[in-house]
Amino acid sequence: MRFYDEMNYVQEAENALKFMRLMAPLKEVTAPQPYFDLTSRKILTMKWINGKRLVDAEPSEINRLVNIGTSCYLMQLLETGWFHADPHPGNMIRTDDGKLCIIDFGLMSEVEDYQKFGMIQAITHLANRDYTLITKDFADLDFLPKDANYDEYTPALANVFDKALAGGGAKAINFNDLSADLAKITFELPFRIPPYFALIIRAISVLEGIALVGDENFAVIDEAYPYIAKRLLTDDSPQIKSALNNVILGDDGKIDIDKMIDLLQSFEKYAKINSFAMDKGLMQISRDELKGSTGESSSNSQSIERTREALIFFFSDDGSYLRNLLEETVIDGIDSLSKSAVIELTKRLLDQN
């Protein structure tokens, strides 16, 4: 069926237009404009794009644009639920003006809401090494039979993820190695790779392969975490708020300051890569103030700007959930530990380098 979809050029032109609309928030991502008056089922006409294959670009440009491409792919996969299922090296171009151009929209696929939220929750549970919940996540994502005995799967998954997490944590996972180890479980237990996830694995593997040309130390999860941080901090859905709680709340129900700082800094990285600002008015004020400041080094000015961006988010409407969570922590446990946690957070936001 998908083979015939790829042969319908009217559908492919509509896919390209839909992609451009959905990816509009990512200013560094583009696609060729289709010309519908010159397109038919057998002929596709699109705007000419000047550039070169991403894999043939300079290593620094590969690194920069793969980071943008990772955010683009995650936005498709975990936000819109509609994604480009054929991102091979020939379908990604570095344009002459430095943008990432995606082409060839014949093969597209979709994930449902429960799959989107399930993948985000699985990533956050992985970061916390909560293998019991990861087993449940895998069942929800159709890797395990609905009537599976979780106790049989948790040790096998724990072995796989302990190996993957060794020497760097969740953000340093080698995705190809992890996928291979997960596939081995299929020989031991009733475990399958769902068809939708096979397309995801293929797409991520292609991104990783291109990235390794520019940086031999590239790690997919490491580059994906800024987008995950953005979703955790800005999505109002109950499922995402639950995932956020899993990330920043310790076993005692109190906020883990180190994890919260890591989350805010990762969000700043996403904002920088994708020209994303929570409050453009306030952001512009802070930058104008920086431009007008005197007697500060360039690196110190950049550090101040990063701090202000984190604080702008923290005190914006989008940061209200974090503020409320801090208030609840203090109210629910008016003790020196809770108070010191809030003091430490404030101090580190203001003093981070």
Residue 86 appears among annotated catalytic residues? yes
Residue 148 has which token pair? 């599976």
Give backbone dihedrals phi and psi of 16, rounded to 5 degrees, phi first.
Answer: -60, -45
- 264 with 314: CB under 8 angstroms? yes
Query: Residues 86, 104, 137, 235: which is the catalytic one?
Result: 86
Helix spans in 141-190 (H): 150-165, 175-185
Residue 169 has which token pair? 């944590």
- Angstrom CA distances, 130 to 183, 196, 251, 296, stand at 20, 24, 11, 45
| Block residue for tokens 């019991």 | 132
Q: Are strands 108-110 and 82-84 parallel, antiparallel or unpaired?
A: antiparallel
Question: What CA dihedral angle connects 140, 144, 148 and 150, to 10 degrees?
Answer: -70
Helix spans in the chain (H): 2-6, 9-22, 59-75, 113-127, 131-140, 150-165, 175-185, 195-214, 220-234, 238-248, 257-274, 280-292, 298-314, 320-332, 336-351
Q: Rounded to whole angstroms, how far apart are CA atoms 200 and 118? A: 14
* Angle (deg, nearest 10), helices 257-274 and 59-75: 110
- Angstrom CA distances, 207 to 94, 178, 186, 212, 223, stand at 14, 16, 25, 9, 11
- 34 with 16: CB under 8 angstroms? yes
Active-site residues, by number, are: 86
